[in-house]
């Protein structure tokens, strides 16, 4: 059975036009019903319960980012009962595979093109609730080689942080691409567009070798930037197995909602 929030998200997502330049992406306003977004805001955790990303993922360079993986019981267990119940219910339908299959359907031809020279890998999704604090920034990068689709649900309480969204960048060297991994200096890129960091909005893009994106340095005092990352990954042969929240066997992916 589908919730009203899931159906509203599916409708907005499925019908959003995809922009092709400089890489496939789109941006949606009001992705959830207003009453659901109000409930979500009421269930934002106390920041003290968030886990430093460097601790949660054993990665370096993200000292201002804190996370909770909403589909993980051990992360949900950090929350008080009422908020734990909300995020558990939310993750059950968001990470069930239905929404991911809708995303796979929308980018079907691009996925087939990307993996045309190899068997379709196993795909899995992950949902991270994120808090970024003052001085946070992300230099232009294309994301991990495992990434297939990136979705950023922006969760501010009002419109005062609209300038803090994710930016799309073009390298000044028109021939420069990156398979994934490193973050680069802002001085080597032109900022093409910044997605408004507005309540209840969603920025989606397909990972390519030129999907350069980042976050301009945050200089606003005492800033907390809340968002939910929902990502679809490919299990690549040369990389260790990851515990999938919801897996989609490569030869049996259903490209429909």
The pLDDT value recorded for residue 75 is 92
Long-range contacts, stretch 84-93, CB < 8 angstroms, 24+ apart: 86/39, 86/40, 86/43, 87/43, 87/129, 90/5, 90/40, 91/127, 93/2, 93/3, 93/5, 93/6
pLDDT tens sequence across 33-71: 999 999 999 999 999 999 998 787 766 556 788 999 998
pLDDT tens sequence across 204-235: 999 999 999 999 988 888 889 999 999 999 98
Nearest Cα to Cα of residue 130 among 202, 68, 44: 68
Whether the predicted pLDDT of 244 surpasses 60: no
Which pair of structure tokens corresponds to residue 240? Answer: 């260790």
Which residues have a Cβ under 8 Å from the Cβ of 15 and sit 6 or more positions away? none
Query: What is d(CA 128, CA 119) in angstroms, rounded to the nearest whole number?
Result: 28
Domains and CATH numbers, the chain: 4-236 (2.60.120.620)
Whether the predicted pLDDT of 249 surpasses 80: no
pLDDT tens sequence across 145-202: 999 999 999 999 999 999 999 999 999 999 999 999 899 999 999 999 999 999 999 9
The pLDDT value recorded for residue 252 is 39
Nearest Cα to Cα of residue 104 among 1, 230, 225, 3: 230
């Amino acid at each position: 059975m589908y919730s009203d929030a899931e159906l509203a998200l599916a409708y907005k997502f499925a019908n959003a036009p995809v922009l092709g330049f400089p890489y496939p992406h789109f941006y949606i306003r009001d992705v959830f019903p207003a009453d659901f977004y109000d409930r979500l805001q009421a269930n934002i955790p106390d920041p003290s319960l968030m886990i430093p990303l460097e601790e949660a993922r054993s990665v370096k360079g993200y000292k201002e980012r804190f996370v909770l993986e909403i589909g993980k019981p051990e992360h949900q267990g950090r929350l008080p009962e009422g908020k734990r119940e909300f995020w558990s219910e939310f993750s059950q339908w968001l990470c069930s595979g239905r929404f991911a299959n809708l995303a796979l359907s929308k980018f079907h031809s691009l996925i087939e093109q990307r993996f045309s020279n190899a068997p379709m890998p196993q795909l899995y999704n992950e949902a991270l609730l994120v808090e970024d604090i003052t001085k946070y920034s992300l230099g232009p990068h294309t994301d991990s080689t495992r990434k297939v689709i990136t979705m950023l649900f922006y969760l501010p309480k009002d419109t005062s942080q609209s300038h803090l969204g994710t930016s799309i960048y073009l390298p000044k060297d028109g021939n420069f691409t990156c398979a994934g991994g490193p973050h680069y200096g802002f001085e080597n890129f032109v900022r093409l567009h910044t997605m408004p960091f507005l309540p209840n909005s969603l920025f989606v893009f397909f990972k390519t070798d030129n999907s350069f994106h980042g976050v301009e340095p945050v200089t606003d005092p005492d800033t907390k930037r809340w968002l939910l990352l929902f990502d679809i990954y490919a299990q690549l042969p040369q990389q260790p197995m990851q515990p999938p929240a919801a897996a989609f066997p490569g030869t049996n992916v259903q490209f429909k909602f």
